[in-house]
Amino acid sequence: MTFTAPIVPDPEGLSAVYWDAAQQERLLLQRCTRCGQAWHPPSEFCPFCQASEFEWIDATGEGVIHSYTVAHHAAHAAVEVWIPYTILLVDLVEGPRMIGRLLDAPGEPAIGTPVRLRFERYSDLKVPAFVVHARGGSSCTARRRQRRRRRGTGAPIQEHHTRVSPRPCPGQ
């Protein structure tokens, strides 16, 4: 029998804050104190204005599926038990996109499907993953934001899930 070590992140330096919060099942994002934009993954500088001043904010973990892929072959022996598995690119309601595995979903997902963050245990760590959840609430706003991005009329990040819209969310 061959032992295969798990693939685990190296929670050193700046990413240590992110991974410490993940072990408490909290999703932290960085937000620039100069331009107000949020981003992921952790970085020393704002990817929008290159400022080095930022704060850590708690994210809701809600968003919509921007894209996905279904893996039918293991990229590494440590993930063989998951085959087939779905990797999502999610538009979080706070603005950034995040990658994570889709848990407990029958069949292939649809672009625009609302998802919510759930942490799963992998090796000795809790890592972010996503589950599909019912429509409504702030995920409706995330779907609207995704449509605006496709049309090239994205709203500023400060308007995320607290924005009041005169149009009802489809399906409500």
Res 12: pLDDT: 81
The whole-model pTM stands at 0.73
100 - beta bridge partners? 88
Residue 81 to residue 63: CA distance in whole angstroms: 27
* Helices and strands, counts by H and E, the chain: 2, 8
Per residue of the chain (172 residues), what is the pLDDT tens digit?
454 666 777 778 889 999 999 999 999 999 999 999 999 999 999 999 999 999 999 999 999 999 999 989 888 888 888 888 899 999 999 999 999 999 987 778 999 999 999 999 988 889 999 999 875 544 455 545 554 554 444 433 333 332 333 334 444 4
Contacts 24+ apart (CB under 8 A), 129-132: 129/100, 129/101, 129/102, 129/103, 130/88, 130/90, 130/100, 130/101, 130/102, 130/103, 131/102, 131/103, 131/104, 131/105, 132/102, 132/105
Res 165: pLDDT: 33
CA atoms within 13 A on the CB side of 157: 17
In words, the CATH class of domain 60-153 is mainly beta
Q: Is 52 helix (H, G, I), strand (E, B) or coil?
A: coil
Res 36: pLDDT: 97
* DSSP run (H or E) holding 70: strand 62-71
Specify the domain boundaries for CATH 2.40.50.840 within the chain: 60-153
Sheet holding 38-39, edge to edge: 38-39, 28-32, 54-58
